[in-house]
Amino acid sequence: MRTLKLTVAYDGTRFVGWQRQAAGESIQGVLEDALARFEGGPVTVHGAGRTDAGVHALGQVASVRVSCGLDTVTLTRALNAQLPEDVRVLSVEDADDQFHARFSARTKTYRYMIRNGPIAMPFERAYVWHVPEPLHVDAMQAAAALLVGTHDFAAFRSVGTANPDSVRTVVRSLVRVVEPSLLAYEVTGEGFLRYMVRALAGTLVEIGRGWREPANMLTLLANRQRADAGATAPPHGLFLVAVDYH
């Protein structure tokens, strides 16, 4: 048996998310089905992050235990021949037997894209959140910077989350102007709660609209009430960019 590390990119538009579910296609499901063809039996693929329906990835990482003897270059090519065109295996590497895509990860980086102009091109409708009214980018940048550090992010997680531990460490949080009218919120952390990045993005947009002051971020962190924070931004603007293991 060997452990493989797969780096995967996908357009999440039509998928139910990363995790295999009873109904609908998942990224995990199509990867497991493709690998099973070469393994000769079922396999279980573990992802670094369980992206939700409609969320995309530029550098998702997965791990799997297999007995398949194909070399990594051949297996990369063979998997892509089996996978749908909206899922691509960028690389396959042999990894240490102790490697696990989720539990071995040190940090993950997400990017949330916002088209801030009166019109969004139809070709990008599945990859940006279109916010037509002007946003105060400097206020958003000031608010994003306040998130760096170890905080209780209970105000930014999905309602009804079973895990009582909502303390997470964010090592990088910034809003940058990619091009005129295109903004990216980029955040790197040691771990994220479900919907956390989308809730942060939604709150940052409210700050950009002038509905909140940047310092309100600190109040939200302190009060820990999800109802006080901004709306959850739509999934299609979110990308899992990279997972770091060093």
Q: Rounded to 5, what percent of the chain is helix, strand, coil?
A: 25, 30, 40
pLDDT values of the chain reduced to their tens digit, one per residue, 246 residues: 999 999 999 999 999 999 999 899 999 999 999 999 999 999 999 999 999 999 999 999 999 999 999 999 999 999 999 999 999 999 999 999 999 999 999 999 999 999 999 999 999 999 999 999 999 999 999 999 999 999 999 999 987 666 679 999 999 999 999 999 999 999 999 999 999 999 999 999 999 999 999 999 999 999 999 999 999 999 999 999 999 998
- What's the residue count for the chain? 246
Alpha-carbon distance 129 to 209, whole Å?
14
3-state secondary structure 148-205: CEEEECHHHCCCCCCCCCCEEEEEEEEEEEEECCEEEEEEEECCCCCCHHHHHHHHHH
For domain 2-95, the question of CATH label 3.50.50.60 is answered with: no
Is 162 exposed, middle or buried (CB count within 10 Å of its CB: 0-12, 13-18, 19+)? exposed
Tokens of 245: 């293991």
Confidence (pLDDT) at 91: 97
Confidence (pLDDT) at 152: 97
Phi and psi of 218, rounded to 5°?
Answer: -65, -40
Confidence (pLDDT) at 34: 96
48-to-32, 104, 116, 170, 242 alpha-carbon distances in Å: 15, 9, 31, 17, 10
Confidence (pLDDT) at 162: 60
Question: What CATH number labels 107-244?
Answer: 3.30.70.660
Contact 156, 221 (CB under 8 A): no
- Helices (H) then strands (E): counts for the chain: 5, 10
> What does pTM read for this prediction?
0.95
Known catalytic membership, residue 33: no
Q: Domain segments of the chain: what residues?
A: 2-95, 107-244
Confidence (pLDDT) at 196: 97
C-beta neighbour count of 90 within 10 angstroms: 14
Please tell me if the domain spanning 2-95 has the same topology as the one spanning 107-244. yes
Confidence (pLDDT) at 161: 65
Catalytic residue among 11, 33, 52, 71: 52
Alpha-carbon distance 116 to 132, whole Å?
5
